[in-house]
Structure 1
Amino acid sequence: METLFFIIILMIFGFYSYPAILWLLFIAIYSVIFYDVGVYFWIVFITFSIFILNEKIRQNFIIIPILKYLKSNEINFKIFKNIFYFNEHTFLTNTFKSYKEKKLTKEENDFLRNDVEKLFIFENNRYIDFIKNKKLFALCIPKEYAGLGFSFFSYLKIIEKFAFHCSSLNINDILINSINSSKILLKYGTKKQKEYYLPKIAKEEEIIEFIFTKTNFKGEVFKDAKEELKIKLEFNFKNYNNISTLIIVAFDLYDPKHLILKNTNLVTTFALINIETIKNTNSSENLTINYKDIIGEPSHTQNQKSFIKSLLFYKKASFLSLCIGQSKSNLKLINSYTSLKDEYEVSKKEIKEIEEKIAQIVSFNYLSTNLRNYFFSINKDDSNIDFFNHIINYHISKNFKKIAFITIDILDSNKFQKIKKRVYEFIEYSNNLDKSSFDFEHIFIKNKSIVIIDKTLQNYISSSINLNIKSFIFFLTRGYFIKVDKELKRHKKNLIWVSTNFNALLNFSSLLSKKRKKIINEKLIDIFSWIHLLKLIIKKNEDNQNSNYKFLVDYICQYGFYQIQKEKENIFQEIPTFKILLPFIRLNPYALKPNNKINTKIIKFIKNKENLDEICASLSFLKDNNKTIFFELDEALKLQNECEDLHERIKYAIKHKTLKKTHFSETIKQANKTGVITKKEYEKLDFAYKKRLNLFT
């Protein structure tokens, strides 16, 4: 019993991060009172205490030997900096910053609702005319340069609408590259360059494109035979859009002879190149451009690399909007299609499976829309941008592909071949996204001074003890004693528990081999993404407590914690010494898979047209083209709803043995013969049935 109390008190010390001297005093006093310890114990204990408490001895006898070992073995032992994690004070002190949702101006709203709506009936090979007709190239160019002067957020709303209605990937690539090019000119261009190029772009006299490259290529400055400044670019210009007339590239300007740069010989800069210059250059040769082709003046004082990162952020944000638009389109299609399918003999098991899949699509829409709104309502620094890009690259693209395959699976009729083709295009586009690596901030301890390493290791050991003890206690109690406010109480406690456990695993991953660390890191990043997405959803609900979406927040939190649990189990599976603990951690998971009850609640909610329109931001299929599958679906569903009373009458007759349940067409014939329905009603049902049947065959 004494040993049990001893362990419990030590765990309390670790839970509250008491200083080392209190630990040592407690161990000494408790040992004297309760244990019969000998002289060897006190020799070891006093020696250990001296090493722990005396800074100089610790540094000379522990830190310096560790450093020598690390340097001689070329091991970069990295310790992660304090990753912010949620604790008991997070929700009580309102640590989460509220954000004001970004709104469109009246002019932007009018453009979106009126001008853009009229553009969607067009042939695929005419999309360039389609873009030009409504000055979409001028969208984000200021009015002083003949542009529309709209915000980038308005573009995201427009491209979302494109994705809802049509195949929009080519359109987005052209527009986002043009918008990013305009931003470069506005940020770095000289007054002369802005006044010359921006109006031409706004009026579609020039189509401009910014080419992203994974790493900047080199451009070396030299003088030609005429003593004119030239730049030789070490890049092969193959992947540009065939409609572009101008191209912007970012490159590292290398000036070893200081012909341009005075204080340095390498800076990142931009060049604007006429497409004819590229076409007239042999593809095997490096392209040579004039000094005047550089945008603005090369300067190492301007942070071009951060700016390029922000342009990548805009590109990823546009992809997120494409995913939102396409998934809303998928949701409306599937909702209509499955409503029609209910009339057929679909088993209860199949219905539950379909409901589960639709619930995932609804939650993806809600989560993605809030993520986009959040990132466009806060100040963005490099770390924010890196993390947002990572979430798009891995988390959103992975989950979008999941719901894309759900769509393909549910829309099993040949009538939907064009829709499926569009969805497959999105999947392929998502697969080709630049998967830039993301890593947690860390320091390499072998590259620091002894004092810094000493303090870093102290913090590392202290935080590891604290986090592991907290994780263990939260696991045993399911975070029962964590104090949070009432709103979404269970989810907040879970978030603190998950966050604590995540940081403990992150600290532990520092001790793993490079190969195993890489495998674990991918799973930790996925957990980290979910933690922040769940934080965002919980905060959104707190800011809008009268929201109709609390049940959806419950679903997302339950689903998110379930996904985190799976990743945690995968981590334990990858570490041989931890595999033995797998049955233990499965006994008390963060969450189970969302049950049928909450899935059915979501389905019931979206069956209401107003609710579905609210989730889909009132995006609706166009009614003025009766050749589209959307029109056929809408018409069939309308006819089915008009026959609802007749269906109920037939079901009542079957229940009371007046009719025998057979194939639907035979059943309604029987109903007509037995007088359950009139001849006119039979014709109405038969017509609606054939309309539905046309969609399923």
Structure 2
Amino acid sequence: MVLLSIVVLLVVIGVVIYRRIPLPLGSAAVALTWYLLGYLTPAFWSLWLVVPLAAVLLILNVPALRRPVLSKPVFQVLGKAMPSMSTTEREALEAGTTWWEKDLFSGRPDWHEFAQIGLPQLTQEEQSFLDNEVEELCAMLDEFDIHHHRKDLPEEAWQFLKDKGFLGLIIPKEFGGRDFGPYAQSRIMSKIASRSGTTAVTAMVPNSLGPGELLMKYGTDEQKQRWLPGLANGTEIPCFGLTGPEAGSDAGSIPDVGIVCKGEFEGQEVLGLKLTFSKRWITLAPVATVVGLAFKLHDPDGLLGDSSKSDYGITCALLPANHPGVEIGKRHHPGSPFMNGPIKGQDVFIPVDWIIGGAPMAGKGWRMLIECLGAGRGISLPALATASGEMLYRTVGAYARIRRQFNTEVGKFEGVQEATADIASCAYTMEAFRQMVTKGLETGSPSVMTAMAKYHATEMMRRVVNHSMDVVGGRAIQHGPRNFLALPYQSVPVAITVEGANILTRSL
């Protein structure tokens, strides 16, 4: 009986650990089990069992004992086992801001505070832009024609995007931009995406991670005056080179380098950088006039003024696409015909003033990038996903009402209802947290929340599109101008992959 009682006690302890029952409650359960077993097996109350169990429960429940006896030794052992954290990794963890989601992830959310958060609202100017310019742009677009025939946007659509400020939605009015808020940007991109995903991606890039946002937050006054007006009116088309053949989601491992040295620029010897880089899968690269680059900066001769520091880390610079030595490679084909391609350069010399923010921002590029990823992760990609969810809710729902099999509307089949119900719930969820996240972006750059938004939105989009393919069936497979599903289905991997691969986010 003693052996059986020990087994029962161990089972209870195992359940407490496996179910992660809170410590005081779990200790009470273990103590009560031991007490009850003592009536069935009096020998179970013997000192050789009582004393160790009482000691363990006492240590676990008294912080003054638990910390020195248990917690400190365990942390010391784990500290030796864990790899050291690099400067880049530490900067990534410390970058960005937090909002109400901090309370949620802490496990102690203040729901009263949550209830006080107002929904994001469009200004009169933003609503007018949606009702007029965006509608006019959508009328120019035929995604089947863009995808299968042109392999590009119509020329009039390109010009309209430039002339009407679609490429400068985030740029302040003082530089000629629209200066729209996060919610307006999301609504605009969703509307465009409902008509043409290719056009939406084209408009998203200048308004998310790229030279515009980096310049606004970190650029020198001279850099802002030089580039922002052109970015706002579309005479300058930006791209940003971060991803390379050997560095995708692990952007901190980029092999691209910049060596501080002196060289000739415009007939004078100046302090600058010699860049060697190879970037791949860069959206808008084939048509870009200005290129943002991320690279690792080295100053072996201490020319930046700090002889004790030679490796500065990731740095961001901005240079014209036609600068000598910059090579825009052959266009990629990512499954949707938005402009995408490689950028290369070998020993390309640029003045040190072309570092975004100037020499004082040398080595601070990783923090800059992490804090600016919020637009792509929190606005652009969730906007694409929300557009897909709402469009397919409408079209697949309508199809299920008019398509008949076995003399019955397919929408009445329980299997189809299961899929369409999930489409509806995902569409509702994506719209809800689109509003939640863009409201949070009004307060700063909540990097954790935007990363989670990107992951969940694009995964829901994938689920919705797959459900839609199941319901629509053969009609969704055959390509044609009236097929509303084939091109979204083909483009899903783009959203899943970019701005941090979903499989990485899910693993973390």
TM-score if structure 1 supplies the norm length?
0.52
Q: CA separation in 2, counterparts of 1:368 and 1:37?
A: 60
| Equivalent-residue separation in structure 1 for 2:34 and 2:396 (angstroms) | 68
Rate the CA distance shift 1:291–1:353 in 2: closer, same or farther, 3 A. same
CA contact (8 A) 2:433 2:453 kept: no
Change (3 A) 1:128 1:68: closer
Q: Give the corresponding residue for 1:145.
A: 175
Letter in 1 for 2:182: F
Query: Relative to 1, partners in 2 of residues 1:409 and 1:307: Cα closer, same or farther, differing over 3 Å?
Result: same
Q: Of the candidates 356, 369, 374, which is equivalent to residue 295 of structure 1?
A: 356
Match of 1:234, SS? strand
Which residue matches 1:109? 127
Quote the Cα distance in structure 1 between the aligned partners of 2:199 and 2:420.
28
d(CA) in 2 for partners of 1:31 and 1:424?
Answer: 60
Does residue 435 (structure 1) correspond to residue 501 (structure 2)? The answer is yes
Pairing partner for 1:420 from 456, 470, 485: 485
1:269 to 304, 315, 322: 315
Instruction: Indicate yes or no: 2:426 matched with 1:364.
Output: yes
Taking the aligned partners of 1:135 and 1:304, their CA distance within structure 2 comes to 28
Contact 1:386 1:438 in 2 (8 A): no
Q: CA deviation at 1:430?
A: 3.0
> What is the aligned counterpart of 2:225 among 191, 195, 212?
195
CA distance in 2, matches of 1:108, 1:338: 35
- Alignment of structure 1 residues 296-335 onto 2, 5 Å: 296-299=357-360, 304-316=365-377, 317-335=379-397
Change (3 A) 1:51 1:153: closer
Question: Who is 2:465 aligned against?
Answer: 404
1:140–1:147 contact (8 Å) kept in structure 2: yes
Give the counterpart of 1:230 among 272, 275, 289. 272
Return the match for 2:399 from 337, 340, 346: 337
Distance in 1 separating the partners of 2:422 and 2:75:
50
Specify whether residues 219 and 348 from structure 1 end up closer, same or farther in structure 2 by C-alpha distance, changes over 3 A only.
closer
The structure whose residues are more often strand, as a share, is: 2
Paired AA for residue 47 in structure 2: W
| Contact 1:52 1:58 (8 Å CA) reproduced | no
1:219 to 258, 267, 283: 258
Structure 1 contact 177–210 (Cα < 8 Å) conserved? no
Residue 53 of structure 1: CA displacement? 5.4
* Matched-pair contact (CA < 8 Å) for 1:31–1:37: no
Query: Cα distance, 1:280 vs. partner?
Result: 5.3
Q: 1:430 to 1:56 in 2, by over 3 A?
A: closer
In structure 2, how many angstroms separate the alpha carbons of the residues matched to 1:147 and 1:69?
A: 51
The residue identity in structure 1 corresponding to 2:432 is N
Letter in 2 for 1:324: T
Q: 2:375 and 2:74 mapped to 1: Cα distance?
A: 48
Match of 1:243 in 2: 287
Sort the Cα spacing of 1:94 and 1:86 in 2 relative to 1 into closer, same or farther, 3 A.
farther
Structure 1 unmatched ranges of 5 or more: 77-81, 440-520, 526-697
Cα deviation, residue 155, structure 1:
1.7
Greater CA radius of gyration, 1 or 2? 1
Does the 8 Å CA contact 2:273/2:352 hold for their aligned counterparts? Answer: yes
Q: Distance in 2 between matches of 1:209 and 1:335?
A: 38
Q: 1:140 to 1:18 in 2, by over 3 A?
A: closer
Are residue 386 (structure 1) and residue 432 (structure 2) matched?
no
Kept in 2: contact 1:153–1:376 (CA 8 A): yes
1:182 to 183, 205, 212: 212
Distance change >3 Å, CA 63–CA 203, structure 1 → 2? closer
| 1:348–1:252 CA distance, 2 compared to 1 (3 A) | closer
Distance change in 2, residues 1:377/1:35 (3 Å): same
> TM-score, with normalisation over the residues of structure 2?
0.69
C-alpha separation between the residues in 1 aligned to 2:366 and 2:35? 58
SS of 2:394 mapped into structure 1 = helix
Amino acid at match of 1:277: H
Q: Which residue does the alignment assign to 2:99?
A: none
- Equivalent residue for 1:46, pick from 46, 51, 61: 51
Matched, 1:169 2:198: yes
Please tell me whether the aligned partners of residues 258 and 298 of structure 2 are also in contact (alpha carbons under 8 angstroms). yes
Deviations 1:262-303 (A, max 9, x none): 374415432111111266569572433222222222336996
Equivalent in the alignment of 1:490: none
Q: Which amino acid aligns with 2:484?
A: I
Distance 1:28 1:330, change over 3 A: closer
2:149 aligned partner: none
Does the 8 A contact of 1:140 with 1:150 survive in 2?
yes
Distance 1:159 1:339 in 2: 29
Q: Deviations over 1:72-108 (max 9, x none)?
A: xx578xxxxx997798x868x7475642111110010
Q: Hey, what's the Cα distance between the residues in 1 that align with 2:189 and 2:30?
A: 63
- Closer/same/farther in 2, CA of residues 15 and 56 from structure 1, 3 Å limit: closer
Decide whether the 8 Å contact of 2:316 with 2:356 is kept in 1: yes
Corresponding residue for 1:252? 296
Q: Report the Cα distance in structure 1 between the residues aligned to 2:70 and 2:470, rounded to whole angstroms.
A: 64
Q: Does 1:100 pair with 2:162?
A: no
Query: Which deviates the most, 201-210 or 56-65?
Result: 56-65
Q: Distance in 1 between the 2:190 and 2:304 partners?
A: 44
* Contact 2:372–2:445 (Cα < 8 Å) also in 1: no
Relative distance call for 1:220 and 1:138 in structure 2 (3 A) is: same
Quick one: distance in 2 between partners of 1:400 and 1:23?
A: 44
Write the deviation string for residues 408-463 of structure 1: whole angstroms up to 9, x where unpaired: 34343356664333223322323433316667xxxxxxxxxxxxxxxxxxxxxxxx
Identity of aligned residues (%): 18
Give 3-state SS (helix, strand or coil) of 1:235's partner. Answer: strand
CA distance in 2, matches of 1:62, 1:195: 55
2:24 matched to 1:18? Answer: yes
Structure 2: tracts of 5 or more residues without a match: 84-101, 147-152, 244-250, 329-343
**Residue 183 (structure 1) shift:** 1.4
Query: Aligned partners of 2:432 and 2:71: how far apart in 1?
Result: 49
What is the CA RMSD across the aligned residues, in angstroms? Answer: 4.7
**Cα deviations by residue, 1:99-131 (Å, 9 ceiling, x for unpaired):** 211111001001111221122233533132231
The count of aligned residue pairs is 429
**Residues 1:35 and 1:371: Cα distance change in structure 2 (over 3 Å):** same
The 5-angstrom pairing of residues 452-491 of structure 1 reads none
Which digits, 9 at most, give the CA deviation of each residue in 1:212-259, with x for residues without a partner?
A: 332354322112377532212231145442111001123332223221
Partners of 1:112 and 1:20 in 2: how far apart? 56
1:282-331, Cα deviation, whole Å (9 max, x unpaired): 95724332222222223369965343123222112211111211332222
Q: Alignment partner of 2:315: what SS? A: strand
1:285 aligned counterpart, secondary structure? strand
Q: What amino acid maps onto 1:435 in structure 2?
A: A
Q: Which residue matches 1:651?
A: none
Q: Take 1:223 and 1:45, find their aligned partners in 2: how far apart are those partners?
A: 77
Structure 1's 230 and 302: CA in aligned 2 closer, same or farther, altered over 3 A?
Answer: closer
Contact 2:277 2:345 in 1 (8 A): no
Q: How far apart are the structure 2 equivalents of 1:61 and 1:323?
A: 47
Aligned-partner Cα distance in 1 for 2:292–2:362: 21
Residues 21 and 53, structure 1, Cα contact 8 Å, conserved in 2: no
| Superposed CA offset, 1:538-588 (max 9, x none) | xxxxxxxxxxxxxxxxxxxxxxxxxxxxxxxxxxxxxxxxxxxxxxxxxxx
